[in-house]
């Protein structure tokens, strides 16, 4: 017997009321060019964007999350992801922001009961997306779907030397150019959060030789690839991580003639060091570590690599036409005689199609939205040189963020208002730790950033808040609670 979602939603309403959430709006209402100015615009309404929107709404700020995807199809879960279940353990509280009734477990048990929860191994991928849709609905989060942000124009602050009049009244604002239903419009916000996901500041990372191959011969694991078209083909999958297994399994299930996993390292990674490092201290303390420790930790995790989940690996190996080639690095490929002649460190192999499960990289060119600010943004290699032996291209290209998750300018760059853009996506991990997107600490990142933004907005408007305090006139007592009397006669 389950209580059902309606009962859970009633309990959630109680919990929110007990916590006095959301707080009433306290920031000044503003307009620019006849349009409302948002306290915060969030780009992306995936799991992280939703958690951040909820944390901001709970703190009484005006916020809208814009997502180019159709409603309910944000992020990878119901689009490009191909695993059967989530990779992370089911118990994680995810985007629940410390509210028990907002957890996946509460949502699941309300519908299927405790015994089903106990029997559940990992969370089915599409069920996670269903949960995120419920999360958005039940919190009534302000999301606009089908809205793609195509340009970001930060404007300088009057206080920091930019003349308020001279900047046409745009002082302290960020202009977002947005495309929706084939039309362009402008939105204004005081702060912008980039919650744009795993490839949030770039896109797929593929070897240079792939770019020279016909696009019909290869895909990246995150592409919207038609796996049915791989039926009867010899497919190579490059990589050894979770996405490599998901792509290989999907190709096999779609009827590929054979799938060859080309894995450079001599063994599959077996231990998830990042998981082992996770504890409340790591989540709260990482951002305060000196650069040397941040780099050392992230580089170590990169080198060790995250193992593919056991169930994903078995999903591949149960097919007799799956071939694991360990210690085999791909070196190049050309199209020849209607197939791909692929060179590897172990010799040539003929394939029909290649899937690169080779991860993502920071690559500003793949994100036209940031073309204007990219040349100004300081990245780690601009100011940090790692010790010999710890060189790491991925880390070197990561943005060097400040404590408010804000982009910081390169030496000599003039980009007023850059610090009004806050990065809450995977490339922020080197600067801020694991709070920037994955399920284990997504609530921590959302809460921390929302609290920081509340503080920044308050400080910016201190004169307004002071004036409000001065005119505030709600009496606590009315003068009728006591009667004044003369002092009694003095007794010697
Ligand atoms: C295949 C896959 C499986 C994963 N599995 C797990 C897992 O099991 N456990 C775990 O902890 N982590 C997992 N992750 C990592 C991480 O949790 C996910 O990437 C998750 O989707 C991150 O959420 P997000 O909201 O940060 O980004 P996303 O879910 O990617 O959302 C970003 C959103 O931004 C929108 N967007 C981007 N640019 C614009 C723009 N210019 N204008 C408007 N909208 C824009 C996109 O449409 C998208 O909806 C997985 C990642 C992948 C790729």
Number of separate helices (H) and strands (E) present in the chain: 14, 18
Compute the average pLDDT of residues 183-202.
96
CA 340, chain centre distance (Å): 36
Q: In 254-290, which ranges are continuous DSSP H helix?
A: 273-277, 280-285
User: 3-state DSSP call for residue 46?
Assistant: coil
Compute the average pLDDT of residues 404-431.
96
Q: Which residue CA neighbors atom 16 of ligand 1 most closely? A: 438
311-335 as b/e, with b when 16 or more CB fall inside 10 Å? ebbebbeebeebbbbeebebeebee
Exposed, middle or buried, 480 (CB in 10 Å: 0-12/13-18/19+)? exposed
Compute the average pLDDT of residues 99-113.
98
What is the spatial distance between Cα 15 and Cα 23, in angstroms, rounded to a whole number?
14
DSSP H or E run through 240 = none
| 379 Cα: distance to centroid of ligand 1 (angstroms) | 22
Q: How confident is the model at residue 1 (pLDDT cuts 50, 70, 90)?
A: low
pLDDT at residue 461 tops 80: yes
pLDDT at residue 188 tops 80: yes
Locate the DSSP E strands across 155-297: 174-180, 183-194, 202-204, 218-220, 234-238, 258-263
pLDDT at residue 161 tops 50: no
Ligand 1 site-directed mutation target among 81, 198, 309, most atoms within 8 Å of CB: 198
Compute the average pLDDT of residues 77-90.
95
Q: Which residue CA neighbors atom 9 of ligand 1 most closely? A: 88
pLDDT at residue 159 tops 70: no
Q: Note whether 7 and 117 are within 8 A (CB).
A: no
Q: Note whether 143 and 64 are within 8 A (CB).
A: yes
For the Cβ of 236 lying below 6 angstroms from any atom of ligand 1, the answer is no
pLDDT at 415: 92
Q: Residue 248: CB partners within 8 Å, gap ≥ 6?
A: 235, 237, 259, 261, 316, 322, 355
Ligand 1 site-directed mutation target among 45, 46, 312, 361, most atoms within 8 Å of CB: 46
pLDDT at 162: 44
Compute the average pLDDT of residues 306-311.
95
CA 151, chain centre distance (Å): 19
pLDDT, tens digit (0-9, with 9 covering 90-100), for 12-43: 999 999 999 999 999 999 999 999 999 999 99
Angle of the 125-138 helix axis to the 4-18 helix axis, nearest 10: 50
For the Cβ of 241 lying below 6 angstroms from any atom of ligand 1, the answer is no
For the Cβ of 43 lying below 6 angstroms from any atom of ligand 1, the answer is yes
What is the spatial distance between Cα 128 and Cα 126, in angstroms, rounded to a whole number?
5
User: 3-state DSSP call for residue 129?
Assistant: helix
For the Cβ of 81 lying below 6 angstroms from any atom of ligand 1, the answer is yes
pLDDT at 3: 79
Which atom of ligand 1 is nearest the CA belonging to 49? Answer: 25
Q: What percent of the chain shows pLDDT beyond 70?
A: 98
Share the mean pLDDT of the chain: 95
Which atom of ligand 1 is nearest the CA belonging to 73? Answer: 49
Q: Which residue CA neighbors atom 29 of ligand 1 most closely? A: 75
pLDDT, tens digit (0-9, with 9 covering 90-100), for 367-407: 999 999 999 999 999 999 999 999 999 999 999 999 999 99
Q: Considering only 114-123, 165-174, 320-329, 431-440, which range has the smallest mean pLDDT? A: 165-174
pLDDT at 193: 98
Q: How confident is the model at residue 169 (pLDDT cuts 50, 70, 90)?
A: confident
Q: How confident is the model at residue 263 (pLDDT cuts 50, 70, 90)?
A: very high
Strand partners, 361: 203
What is the spatial distance between Cα 295 and Cα 433, in angstroms, rounded to a whole number?
11
What is the SS3 string spanning 307-326?
Answer: CCCHHHHHHHHCCCCEEEEE
| Pick from 153, 324, 301: nearest CA to 249 | 324
Q: What percent of the chain shows pLDDT beyond 90?
A: 94
| Pick from 278, 301, 225, 275: nearest CA to 87 | 275
pLDDT, tens digit (0-9, with 9 covering 90-100), for 462-492: 999 999 999 999 999 999 999 999 999 998 8
What is the spatial distance between Cα 331 and Cα 345, in angstroms, rounded to a whole number?
7
pLDDT at 157: 82
352 DSSP assignment = S
Angle of the 442-460 helix axis to the 47-58 helix axis, nearest 10: 40
| 77 Cα: distance to centroid of ligand 1 (angstroms) | 8
What is the spatial distance between Cα 130 and Cα 108, in angstroms, rounded to a whole number?
10
């Amino acid at each position: 017997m389950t209580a059902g979602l309606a009962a859970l939603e009633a309990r959630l309403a109680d919990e929110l009321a007990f916590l006095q959430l959301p707080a009433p709006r306290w920031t000044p209402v503003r307009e620019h060019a006849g349009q409302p100015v948002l306290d915060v615009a969030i780009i992306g309404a995936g799991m992280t964007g939703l958690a951040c929107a909820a944390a901001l709404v709970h703190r009484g700020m005006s916020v809208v999350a814009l997502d180019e995807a159709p409603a309910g199809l944000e992020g990878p879960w119901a689009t490009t992801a191909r695993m059967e279940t989530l990779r992370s353990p089911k118990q994680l509280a995810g985007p629940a922001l410390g509210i028990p009734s907002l957890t996946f477990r509460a949502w699941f048990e309300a519908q299927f009961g405790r015994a089903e929860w106990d029997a559940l191994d990992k969370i089915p991928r599409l069920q996670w997306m269903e949960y995120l849709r419920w999360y958005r609905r039940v919190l009534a989060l302000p999301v606009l779907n089908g809205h793609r942000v195509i340009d970001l124009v930060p404007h300088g602050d009057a206080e920091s030397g930019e003349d308020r009049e001279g900047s046409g009244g745009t002082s302290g604002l960020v202009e977002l150019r947005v495309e929706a239903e084939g039309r362009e419009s402008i939105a204004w916000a005081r702060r912008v959060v980039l919650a744009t996901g795993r490839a949030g500041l770039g896109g797929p990372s593929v070897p240079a030789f792939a770019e020279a191959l016909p696009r019909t011969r290869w895909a990246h694991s995150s592409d919207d690839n038609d796996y049915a078209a791989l039926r009867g083909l010899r497919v190579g999958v490059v990589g050894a991580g979770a996405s490599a297994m998901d792509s290989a399994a999907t190709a096999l299930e779609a009827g590929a003639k054979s799938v060859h996993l080309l894995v450079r390292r001599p063994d599959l990674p077996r231990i998830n060091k990042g998981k082992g490092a996770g504890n409340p201290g790591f989540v709260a303390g990482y951002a305060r570590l000196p650069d040397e420790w941040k780099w050392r930790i992230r580089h170590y995790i990169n080198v060790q690599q995250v193992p593919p989940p056991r169930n994903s690996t078995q999903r591949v190996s149960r097919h007799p036409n799956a071939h694991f080639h360990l210690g085999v690095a791909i070196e190049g490929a050309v199209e020849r005689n209607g197939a791909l002649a692929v060179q590897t460190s172990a010799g040539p192999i003929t394939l029909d199609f290649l899937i690169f499960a080779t991860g993502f990289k920071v690559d500003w060119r793949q994100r036209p939205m940031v073309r204007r600010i990219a040349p100004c943004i300081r990245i780690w290699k601009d100011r940090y040189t790692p010790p010999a032996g710890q060189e790491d291209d991925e880390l070197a290209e990561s943005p060097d963020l400040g404590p408010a998750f804000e982009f910081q300018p390169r030496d000599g760059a003039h980009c007023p208002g850059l610090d009004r853009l806050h990065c809450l996506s995977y490339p922020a991990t080197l600067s801020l730790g694991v709070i920037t997107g994955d399920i284990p600490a997504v609530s921590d990142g959302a809460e921390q950033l929302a609290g920081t933004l509340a503080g920044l907005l308050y400080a910016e408007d201190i004169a307004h808040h002071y004036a409000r305090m001065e005119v505030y006139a709600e009496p606590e007592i009315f003068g009728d609670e006591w009667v004044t009397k003369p002092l009694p006669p003095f007794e010697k």
